[in-house]
């Protein structure tokens, strides 16, 4: 993390770079803002790693090191190393802005009431900045049909694990969400859906508790903070839970009307009832906001499911899924102590899979 003085310096750079005279589009003309590219445009950093996976040794199953790219400029190139360092600073400032953002009301309710999309502006991290790219000056973010997102980078986690793995193992603050762009895709009839494969119900846990806050709970809270309240959450979990404990102690009152607890594992069968990609995702429409998270720690089921998204034989998934989060356990030194025997495949496999999903039209993120 950067210190306060460094953070102030980064923010000064942001405001200087995106002062009104330097904006590509006028701040008072939101209709001209570039939103929802139908063609995926990766950042230059992501493109560099996609083109150099073999050169970096990421095609190996011998648990290659990834954090060295942040320490030694000769592992990549001096210019790429400088860009990684700069991006890390921008990401820290974005994280601070996200943490300091004050929760806003349900955006969809306002759209339903007024049909006025100006409410989407309230999801901006800073009311004085109308484009999330302002927090990442230069060619640092990737453009998708759901707005701008973070580049795919090693170590497939928050870069903080390179200095303190325990502190940042479940840190989600490397993920970038363009909530204003997502808001502008909503229709008055839209439903907001979260499909959670590998569900946890530790809604009451707090940082520092014996049972840590689960990343998916943080994700739900993040979406809520920016005005997205899920109408339906489908939680699939193979570990048995007593129904009484689930409904009396784990699911909070807030989620009683939206949470669907499904205490069975998912299947990779393409048209199986317990394949949520088939039985749930396809039941909704392109006007709905659909978020999918996959983390069941079983490569023999996970990878075929992701391949189904990539192949998209019915040509529907790229039209339906707005964000996809997946923890892909591949051979990597920094995470090997945690993934252990669940590791399968290479970092190259993972980068090509996620990059392929993005090119297909599914904004895919490494999940912690």
pLDDT at 296: 94
pLDDT of 98 strictly over 70: yes
Tabulate helix, strand, coil % of the chain (nearest 5).
40, 10, 50
DSSP 156-214: SS-GGGGT-HHHHTT--TT----HHHHHTT--TT--EEEEEES----TT--TTSSSPPP
Please, what is the average pLDDT of the chain? 88
How far, CA to CA in Å, does 44 sit from each of 149, 184, 352?
A: 13, 26, 16
C-alpha–C-alpha distance, residues 50 and 53, integer Å:
6
Of the candidates 261, 325, 329, which has an alpha carbon nearest to the alpha carbon of residue 298?
A: 329
C-alpha–C-alpha distance, residues 237 and 43, integer Å:
35
pLDDT at 200: 74
Coil vs helix vs strand at 268: coil
C-alpha–C-alpha distance, residues 25 and 32, integer Å:
7
87: pLDDT confidence band, cut at 50, 70 and 90? very high
pLDDT of 94 strictly over 70: yes
Residues 169-223: tens digit of each pLDDT = 999 999 999 999 999 999 999 999 999 999 977 655 555 555 556 788 899 999 9
Coil vs helix vs strand at 332: coil
Global pTM? Answer: 0.89
pLDDT at 247: 85
Of the candidates 236, 247, 208, 211, which has an alpha carbon nearest to the alpha carbon of residue 305?
A: 236
49-71 core/surface letters (b: 16 or more CB in 10 A; e: else): bbeebeebbbeeeebbbbbbbbe
C-alpha–C-alpha distance, residues 247 and 261, integer Å:
9
10: pLDDT confidence band, cut at 50, 70 and 90? very low
Helix H or strand E segment including 260: strand 259-262
Tell which phi-psi region holds residue 224, choosing left (phi > 0), alpha (psi between -120 and 50) or beta.
Answer: alpha
Give the phi and the psi of residue 282 in degrees, each rounded to 5: -70, -10
Residues 107-145: tens digit of each pLDDT = 999 999 999 999 999 999 999 888 899 999 999 999 999
Residues 263-319: tens digit of each pLDDT = 999 999 999 999 999 999 999 999 999 999 999 999 999 999 999 999 999 999 999
14: pLDDT confidence band, cut at 50, 70 and 90? very low
pLDDT at 21: 32
Of the candidates 135, 144, 229, which has an alpha carbon nearest to the alpha carbon of residue 173?
A: 135
DSSP 84-121: HHHHHHHHHHHHHHHHHPPP---HHHHHHHH--GGGGG
């Amino acid at each position: 993390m950067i210190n306060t003085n460094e953070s102030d310096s980064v923010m000064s750079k942001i405001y200087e770079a995106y002062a009104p005279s330097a904006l590509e589009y006028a701040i008072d003309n939101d209709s001209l803002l570039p939103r929802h590219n139908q063609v995926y445009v990766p950042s230059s950093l992501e493109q560099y790693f996609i083109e150099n996976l073999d050169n970096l040794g990421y095609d190996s199953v011998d648990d290659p090191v990834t954090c060295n790219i942040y320490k030694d400029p000769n592992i990549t190139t001096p210019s790429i190393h400088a860009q990684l360092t700069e991006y890390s600073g921008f990401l820290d400032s974005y994280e601070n802005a996200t943490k300091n953002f004050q929760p806003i009301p349900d955006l969809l309710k306002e759209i339903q009431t007024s049909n006025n999309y100006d409410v989407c502006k309230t999801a901006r991290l800073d009311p004085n900045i109308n484009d999330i790219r302002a927090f990442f000056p230069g060619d640092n973010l990737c453009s998708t049909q759901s707005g701008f997102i973070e580049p795919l980078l090693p170590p497939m986690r928050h870069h903080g694990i390179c200095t303190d793995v325990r502190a940042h193992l479940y840190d989600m603050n490397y993920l970038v969400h363009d909530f204003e762009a997502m808001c502008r895709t909503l229709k008055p009839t839209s439903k907001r859906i979260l499909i959670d494969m590998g569900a946890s119900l530790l809604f009451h846990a707090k940082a520092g508790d014996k049972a840590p806050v689960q990343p998916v709970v943080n994700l739900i809270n993040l979406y809520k903070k920016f005005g997205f309240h899920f109408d339906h959450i489908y939680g699939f979990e193979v570990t048995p839970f007593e129904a009484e404990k689930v409904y009396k102690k784990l699911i909070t009152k807030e989620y009683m009307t939206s949470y669907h607890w499904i205490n069975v594992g998912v299947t990779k069968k393409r048209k199986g009832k317990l394949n949520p990609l088939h039985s749930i995702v396809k039941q909704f429409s392109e006007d709905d906001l659909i978020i999918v998270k996959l983390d069941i720690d079983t490569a023999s089921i996970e990878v075929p499911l992701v391949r189904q998204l990539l192949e998209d034989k019915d040509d529907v998934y790229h039209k339906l899924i707005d964000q996809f989060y997946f923890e892909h356990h591949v051979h990597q030194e920094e995470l090997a102590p945690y993934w252990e025997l669940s590791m399968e495949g290479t970092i190259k496999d993972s980068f090509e899979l996620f990059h392929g999903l993005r090119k297909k039209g599914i904004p895919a993120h490494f999940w912690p």
